[in-house]
Amino acid sequence: MITASHNPKQYNGFKIYGEDGGQMPPKESDLITSYIRKADDLFDIKAIPEQQLREQQIMNLIGEDVDAAYLEQVRTVNIDTDLVKTTGKSMKFVYTPLHGTGKVIARRALEMAGFSNYSVVPEQTIADPEFSTVPFPNPEFPQAFDLAKALGKKVDADVLIATDPDADRLGAAVRLPNGDYQLLTGNQIASVLLNYILTAKQNANELPANGRVVKSIVSTELATKIASSFGIETKNVLTGFKFIAEEIHNYETNHGHTFLFGFEESFGYLIRPFVRDKDAIQTVLLLAEVAAYYKNQGKTLYDGVQEMYAKYGYFTEKTVAKEFDGLDGKQKMANIMNTLRTNPITELAGHKVVRHADYSTATQTEADGSTTTIDLPKSNVLKYWFDDETWLAVRPSGTEPKIKFYLGLVDESEQAVQAKLNQFEKQLDIEINNLIND
């Protein structure tokens, strides 16, 4: 797939998928990379003519038959089809494909399901590789919703939904009581979807005893708490949806678990595993249904999120990214990770570390010094758990010269968790600056 995904146009490149439709795991992708590195001059590689590629069936162009097969499976995503056919017709929402592929397939899926009362941002239906209307075509950022917000206020929309250019990530904004719109985080979207899925399955007596939710190690623990309340296990995997796809493959091979939902905090979700990557088209349909569910009760998606917090605790997450440009940037990043390994964090904002994990050695260490092995591939990630259920993960970016620091916190009220976040963030900033200046 040739795409810049949710990144600026300068990041245009390609994604490689395996035969099962999942992004290739490290072993296979490393093999491909090794062949690329053998080329002395990438511009001197001889290309086979397109006609010959087609004749030898080395290259096959995807046609309408694949779209039709996909849409047939997408029909199964919606849970309460009666609700969609009734409230789905009256609920107003705005959709924007952010100049990408969702402009065709998402609209076909919505109309097929029965959602007809939605508006599309006209300026962003244009296939534009320059992404001219946004600084970044990333539904994680508020600027990506500027045009959708303007249209939403004009048509009195309940929800704004955006998919990134290759339609694998999805973001949403919900209308507040004051008429303005608030962006939901990827963790909030995932949690409200998961809560709806598990509630619906339980009510229909269709919740499998061996069901499992799969998420990345840097995603919210609210999902774990929701799943646990339904008697469902949560499996944590490394960052990258290819690891969620691997987990699904293992379930289907070993028949030990039934996949129920997968997500990453970076606005990627998978509801039904007929594809093996995050899928914004599936998510558009189910999120619209969840919004219709709350509208049918005289509520909004915002109310749904607040109800979750009232029941399970007020969770919040924050990612802090520090960039390291220049020729010595990579070495600075390596030095910081090495320092954290030799001198692990033991306390932050007055809270003690009760255990920490080094995923590069697949080792988890408890406060008493005892260790256990982590059943995941080795990766350059560190994670700390504190005595108040706060956690901190440290991970160098795989595509940019930056280290990401992920914080996850929970408390009894929105005010309390925000105050705690401020304390941790302030102390973390001091720790990061000390690491940089050492």
Can you give the CATH number for the domain in which 374 is found? 3.30.310.50
CA neighbor of 18 nearest in space, from 264, 229, 330, 246: 246
Both 363 and 264 in a single domain?
Answer: no
- DSSP for residue 377: -
Q: What is the pLDDT of residue 20?
A: 76
Tell whether 158 and 185 lie within a shared domain.
yes
Nearest to 189 by CA among 79, 304, 78: 304
| CA angle in degrees (0–180, nearest 5) for 96-99-104 | 70
Domain boundary among 312, 331, 363: 312
Amino acid at 126: I
| The domain boundary residue, chosen from 64, 94, 117 | 64
Does one domain contain both 305 and 320?
no
- pLDDT given at position 45: 84
Tokens of 365: 């260490």
- Spatial neighbors of 150 by CB under 8 A, at least 6 apart, are none
The pLDDT tens digits along the chain (438 residues) read 666 565 666 666 777 777 777 777 777 888 888 888 888 887 888 889 999 999 998 988 888 999 999 999 999 999 999 999 999 888 999 999 999 999 999 999 999 999 999 999 999 999 888 889 998 899 999 999 999 999 999 999 999 999 999 999 999 999 998 999 999 999 999 999 999 999 999 999 999 999 999 999 999 999 999 999 999 999 999 999 999 999 999 999 998 899 999 999 999 999 999 999 999 999 999 999 999 999 999 999 999 999 999 999 999 999 999 999 887 888 999 999 999 999 999 999 999 999 999 999 999 999 999 999 999 999 999 999 999 999 999 999 877 789 999 999 999 999 999 999 999 999 999 999 999 887
Q: Are residues 292 and 371 in the same domain?
A: no
H-type alpha helices, 313-347: 329-342
Closest of 402, 395, 379 to residue 25, by C-alpha: 379
Give the pLDDT score at 6.
58
8 A C-beta contact, residue 317 and residue 264: no
Residue 331 and residue 304 share a domain: no
pLDDT given at position 410: 98
**Is 284 found in the same domain as 172?**
yes
What's the structural domain count of the chain?
A: 3
Q: Which residue, of 312, 345, 377, is where some domain finishes?
A: 312
Q: Are the CB atoms for 162 and 130 separated by under 8 Å? A: no
| 433 and 375 both lie in a single domain | yes
Tell me, what's the pLDDT at 11? 65
Interatomic CA distance for residues 317 and 237, integer angstroms: 18
State how far the Cα of 42 lies from the Cα of 36, in Å rounded to an integer: 8
Write the CATH number for 101: 3.40.120.10
Q: Which residues constitute the domain of residue 24?
A: 2-64
Q: Which pLDDT belongs to residue 33? A: 85
Q: Assess whether 80 and 204 both reside in one domain.
A: yes
Same domain, 210 and 275: yes
For this structure, is 29 an active site residue? no
Same domain assignment for residues 328 and 297? no
Identify whether residues 139 and 123 lie together within a single domain.
Answer: yes
| 302 and 226 both lie in a single domain | yes
Going from the C-alpha of 28 to that of each of 32, 168, 377, the distances in angstroms are 7, 22, 14
